[in-house]
Amino acid sequence: MPLIENKKHKNSFNNQPLRGKYLVKNFWLYCFLKVVDLFSFIYFSFLKFLTPRSMRERKLKKNENLLKRPKKILLSNIAHLGDTIIATWILPILKQIFPNASIGFICSSSSKEILENNSYIDKIYFVDHWKLNRSKKHLFQKFLKYFRSRKQAIKDIKKEKFDIAIDLYYSFPNSIHFFYKSKIPVRIGYSSAGFENFLTCKNIWANKNQHVISYHLDLLKFLKIDPKVFQNASITPYIYLPSSAKKITINNSKTENFDLNEGYIVCHIGAGSRKKMWNLSKWKDLTAKLLNDDHKIVFTGKGDFENTFINEVIETQDSLKKANCINLCDKINYLKILKILKNARVVICVDSFILHLATALDVLTIVIYCGINNFHHWVFKKSNVIPIVKKLCCSPCYMKNGCETMACLNNIEIDEVLKKMEMFSWKSLNKI
């Protein structure tokens, strides 16, 4: 499925994700990246001056040969679950073009289950960057875990002697300096998160109304790949779904009213940022409407906050209808989430990793999307994935913590969700 760029999105507030050429909002982080790029530019310029021209030409020719016929390719996306899921689209493409090449992948330890059974990946390395660590641990502990995981990964990767490394994450923190320390000769990535001088092949990030996958495609151009390959390829995230897990069973007495292998609606209320979560009263009203239409609802989530949130939604429902709801927050592992999503008639969620997982599994999905980020970047253009977006003059604002009112999200009404549901063919099926 080819990705088509939409017309330029106009924003009267002129909000842009970039500060200069960097995808950062924090002033001090911007200054840090400027300093890193300045001094690394001076360092590499001096190194180039000292290196004989013939040696530089030999190195350049060697790198060009590696780009055409790599034996070992290392990919990296150390961000959150959704980012890792999106990055999986590249795996079957690379294997198709370079069938004999070995593929390694660097990710955070939280993404382990997403990648560990993927047949396209030969080795996985874990780096838990302190800035991306959402655990409740002290900052010092996060720093310690980061430096330990980074040191170990560099040691292991050096032994493998990869030919090419591609950083699929264009925000800070990236893996560019990590590639350099691992002595990988060809390093491909974006300059938008600093450390550009450590790259051998760099791309300039520009704000376009295109999906993240299209930004990844721009990086693959350095590999001299025939564009026709992408026209005929399935450009969608690849998720390994075990065929052995045919039945879903949950050890919980409250699931007796449920057959989790037949049609139901999945409601995922949580997100990495609470600012992206829809209003509690809206979820209550939407749940009541769905229950009145005799639908069964499976709620998914993670953590105490989301568990309490879901329980409150369920407890306010009619006592006779309440039995058609189930709260599976923190009660299922990754493989069971996969099967539950796959068996769902429709998934209703906010901007979260469930959106990307449902997209990869080709499940009918409605996403209630806030105006913090550009939805074109994160919602894949498929007929069965429908975003509900409030087009306000201030959105997308690209503010990490949003604003106080979050009108872009809280002004979305339940009737808009129900109207989108009518677009799906499952509506004509017999209800549960």
Q: Bigger pLDDT: 98 or 224?
A: 98
Question: Which tokens in the block code for residue 224?
Answer: 């001299």
Residue from 182, 29, 113 nearest 338 by CA? 113
What would the pLDDT profile of 325-383 be if each residue is shown by its tens digit? 999 999 998 989 999 999 999 999 999 999 999 999 999 999 999 999 999 999 998 88
Confidence (pLDDT) at 422:
85
**Domain range list for the chain:** 27-232, 253-428
Is the pLDDT at 11 greater than 90? The verdict is no
- In order of 24, 94, 274, 342, the CA distances from 34 in angstroms are 11, 33, 31, 45
Q: What percent of the chain has pLDDT over 70?
A: 89
What would the pLDDT profile of 156-179 be if each residue is shown by its tens digit? 999 999 999 999 999 999 999 999
Question: Which tokens in the block code for residue 58?
Answer: 């030999």
What would the pLDDT profile of 83-121 be if each residue is shown by its tens digit? 999 999 999 999 999 999 999 999 999 999 999 989 999
Put simply, whether the predicted model's pTM sits higher than 0.85 gets the answer yes
Confidence (pLDDT) at 226:
75
* CATH code assigned to 253-428: 3.40.50.2000
Confidence (pLDDT) at 44:
96
Question: Quick one: CATH architecture of 27-232?
Answer: 3-Layer(aba) Sandwich (3.40)
- One fold for 27-232 and 253-428: yes
Distance CA 400, CA 115 (A): 27
Dihedral pair phi/psi, residue 85, rounded to 5°: -60, -45
Is the pLDDT at 1 greater than 80? The verdict is no
Residue pair 124/112 in contact by the 8 Å Cβ criterion: yes
